[in-house]
Amino acid sequence: MKNLAEETILLFVDVSEVYTLLSKLDSYPKLLAAHTCDWKFNGDICSFNYDGSTHTKLKMYEQLLNEKVVIGTYGVNTVDFDMEFLLFDVGKNRTNFKMIIKADMNPIMASMASSSMEELKDDFLKEMKKELGVDNN
């Protein structure tokens, strides 16, 4: 899989708060609010419409307490991708947070999708900071 979007930021919040937010699929309608609607949940799988037309399913694939969360597309989707969240506790209510969006596609498709994935990443980070109650830093 190729990294299409990636960013590391320092959050002034305890690592457990970040992990709790990201480890629950029912948090993602708020985190992905900019382009999604019609969310449905079934255990560790959720589905939604992206930009009003593309139906997407996500599944929680990996959770490592206060360290890592991986969600990705599930079943048949227009674009298959994973979002990997890495958390590093740096003490005193500070968390180093890394978000990586990966997809398995040829170089031409990857270059076409990268700007959309960058926008998805930026919108996600903005909403995550808002949900955590932290300033943009």
Lowest model confidence (mean pLDDT) among 38-42, 60-64, 94-98: 38-42
As a whole-number percent, the residues of the chain with pLDDT over 70 amount to 99
pLDDT at 32: 92
Number of Cα atoms under 13 Å in the Cβ half of residue 11: 27
How does residue 136 score in pLDDT terms, banded at 50, 70 and 90? low
pLDDT, mean over the chain: 91
pTM above 0.85, yes or no: yes
pLDDT higher at 87 or 110: 87
User: Which domains are assigned to the chain?
Assistant: 2-132 (3.30.530.20)
Mean pLDDT over 63-81 rounds to 92
3-state secondary structure labels for all residues of 19-54: HHHHCCHHHHHHHCCCCEEEEEEECCEEEEEECCCE
Terminal-residue alpha carbon distance, the chain: 29
Task: Note whether 43 and 54 are within 8 A (CB).
Answer: no
Q: Is the pLDDT of residue 115 over 90?
A: no
> What distance in Å separates the CA atoms of residue 6 and residue 41, rounded to the nearest whole number?
27
Mean pLDDT over 121-133 rounds to 95
Mean pLDDT over 94-111 rounds to 88
pLDDT at 30: 94
Q: What is the pLDDT of residues 3-51, one digit of tens each?
A: 889 999 999 999 999 999 999 999 999 999 988 899 999 988 999 998 7
